[in-house]
């Protein structure tokens, strides 16, 4: 009996001690709360593509006028290319180290990627590593990319359909060019195509580096007897892929492949982040993160 009481007492002491240490943990960090936002894109070295980033930057600052906004690019190739041109862009790790040094306590990292692919998962891993550092952030959270929930797919489909040039006839196709990836999240592009086709059966989503590719899309267009299509980037920026792989004059561009198959194409060189209603979805994901601080 005596031993049972001792056990109960020990358990109580343990519970109280852990409460006390939890409070002590809170008090140990007496710094005033300093919130910050880190926007993370893949990056683009194409000067015309910067409009996308400028638009996101402007909209985020409008939504959070009191909070400092920083930027980082996940692509090392793009960062190195820009550095050679004298433009210094931080990696996520460098940007976070700087924010840590500046005494930020709460950081919202917003992914500006389209899907939850490799880049997004790497970003989460490294951002969370910062929460374990002594003297680091009290809280660091990563916001979802553009497509996360079903609701996002619905919103994106409605927004992008509203941006299709009004002169396009219903019997003409619209082909969106996604980036694509060997990562399992590539399935988001197929889900996106389904969401578009519920509203308009002549809308397709292809990818540069995943499935379906332009050969698959070409077969789909031919089987429907389509003669003309609009080509629209399904990437935040109209950068190198949009300008060369989609709309370029090289024989392996989407435009050339379709022309050879007897399908005329009209390329639109505008990234998804140039549209305010699309940027609004990223911002809603960021608001979701900020609501935890």
Catalytic positions, written as ranges: 179
33 Cβ contact partners less than 8 Å away, ≥ 6 residues apart? 105, 106, 138, 293
Question: Nearest to residue 186, comparing CAs of 234, 116, 120, 257?
Answer: 116
290 Cβ contact partners less than 8 Å away, ≥ 6 residues apart? 35, 37, 64, 67, 108
Q: 3-state class of 228 per DSSP? A: strand
* Cis-peptide into 212, omega within 30 deg: yes
Whole-angstrom Cα distance, residue 26 to residue 48? 47
Q: Which two tokens stand for residue 3?
A: 């031993």
Q: 3-state class of 235 per DSSP? A: coil
Q: Dmax of the chain from CA atoms?
A: 90
The sheet carrying 264-267 orders its strands as 203-207, 173-178, 228-233, 264-267
The CA-atom distances, in angstroms, between 3 and each of 10, 14, 224, 282, 287 are 10, 16, 80, 58, 52
């Amino acid at each position: 009996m005596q031993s049972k009481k001792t056990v109960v007492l020990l358990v109580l002491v343990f519970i109280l001690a852990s409460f006390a240490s939890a409070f002590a943990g809170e008090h140990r960090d007496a710094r005033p709360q300093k919130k910050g936002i880190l926007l993370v894109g893949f990056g683009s070295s194409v000067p015309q593509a910067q409009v996308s980033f400028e638009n996101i930057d402007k909209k985020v600052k409008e939504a959070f006028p009191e909070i400092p906004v920083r930027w980082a690019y996940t692509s090392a190739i793009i960062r190195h290319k820009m550095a050679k041109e004298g433009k210094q862009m931080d990696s996520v790790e460098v940007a976070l180290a700087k924010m840590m040094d500046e005494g930020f306590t709460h950081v919202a990292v917003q992914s500006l990627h389209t899907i939850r692919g490799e880049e997004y998962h790497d970003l989460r891993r490294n951002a969370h590593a910062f929460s374990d550092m002594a003297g680091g952030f009290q809280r660091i959270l990563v916001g979802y990319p553009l497509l996360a929930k079903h609701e996002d797919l619905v919103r994106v489909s409605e927004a992008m359909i509203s941006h299709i040039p009004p002169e396009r006839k219903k019997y003409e196709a619209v082909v969106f060019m996604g980036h694509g990836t060997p990562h399992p999240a590539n399935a988001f592009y197929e889900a996106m195509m389904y969401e578009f086709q519920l509203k308009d059966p002549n809308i397709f989503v292809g990818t540069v580096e995943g499935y379906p590719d332009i050969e698959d899309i070409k077969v789909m267009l031919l089987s429907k007897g389509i003669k003309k299509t609009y080509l629209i980037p399904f990437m935040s920026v109209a950068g190198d892929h949009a300008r060369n792989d989609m709309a370029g004059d090289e024989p392996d561009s989407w435009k050339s492949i379709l022309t050879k198959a007897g399908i005329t194409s009209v390329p639109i060189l505008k990234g998804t982040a140039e549209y305010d209603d699309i940027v609004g979805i990223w911002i809603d994901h960021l608001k979701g993160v900020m609501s935890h601080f």
